[in-house]
Amino acid sequence: MTTATMDITFDSIATLTGPELITLFNELTGEGVKRFSTRAAGIKRTQAAFQLKVGNESVKAQTATKAKPKATAGVARRKLISFPVKDLIKKHRPGTRRATTVDMLSRKNGATVQEVMDAINWDYKTAYEGIKLLHVYTGYGLQEDANGRIRLLGTPTG
């Protein structure tokens, strides 16, 4: 450790300028970092490197943080789709992606977002939003069960 870093304490790292943080970090780690993504990230990384170099137990107690819980595997949890039938349900043009989606969701068992994705060659977000927009644009009601199967409610009027 150089003499410049000997005068530095753990708490004083937060008061250093950006270039001083980078210089100190590079001296402590031997890396060639040119910049940090944010000032807070620079302070955090420099303090962690300082901790490892100095090995002070009181410093370790000051920076102990709670571990974030790991995200669960699989698709992120979301609310189930549930839209009531509107008074007026508009017809759709045959042969369109909307018509394909309506046909799939009108089946007895309905369809999942994945099935719509595969049939129409949409990504997840587009398929999910496309299904939800059936209610907005045409007036169909939508009901999703706990297994992720979405059913269409209502029939076109007039």
pLDDT in the model for residue 55: 67
**Out of 2-16, 24-38, 111-125, which region has the weakest mean confidence (pLDDT)?**
2-16
Whole-number Å distance between alpha carbons of 36 and 23? 12
Around Cβ 63, how many Cβ atoms within 10 Å? 12
Q: Tokens 């090995």 map to which residue?
A: 55
pLDDT for 142 beyond 80: yes
What whole-number percentage of the chain has pLDDT above 70?
A: 80
Band of pLDDT at residue 158, cut at 50, 70 and 90? low
pLDDT (tens digit per residue) in 37-95: 898 889 988 888 888 887 654 444 444 444 555 555 555 566 788 888 888 888 888 89
When mean pLDDT is compared across 8-12, 37-41, 142-146, the lowest value belongs to 8-12
Long-range contacts of 111-116 (CB under 8 A, 24+ apart): 111/149, 111/150, 112/148, 112/149, 112/150, 113/148, 113/150
The CATH classification number of 82-153 equals 1.10.10
Domain boundaries, the chain: 3-62, 82-153
pTM given for the model:
0.49
Residue 3 pLDDT exceeds 60: no
